[in-house]
Amino acid sequence: MVAKYQQRGVKDSPKSCPTHSVSGSIHVMQTRALKVSAYGAPNANNDSFFANYDFFNVTALFKLASGASLRITERRERSWEIAFKQLRLYSCVGDLMF
């Protein structure tokens, strides 16, 4: 299946299948996404391992059915910090960070 996409010139990105980064927040907030807008930045250091990626770093902003906004950022290139995963939830009631 991947070969068919590559033959058509379709490249990969960190947001090609965002279920792992998005589903946790959506589940905890008990809502669903209505709209999404994403911005991608290309690979700045020409790493050949990611030659089939259109974008290296991608940020998406979701409008949720609950009226809240959700921002998810996936970074494949971060020379300025050690890679880590972090989830932060901010609300009118309180804040939560994992």
First to last CA, the chain: 35
| Under 8 Å between Cβ of 41 and 74 | no
In terms of Cα–Cα distance, which of 69, 59, 77 is closest to 15? 59
Which helix (H) or strand (E) segment holds residue 74: the answer is strand 69-75
| Per-residue model confidence as pLDDT tens digits over 9-30 | 777 776 667 777 888 888 888 9
pLDDT category of residue 64 using cuts at 50, 70 and 90: very high
Model confidence pTM above 0.75: no
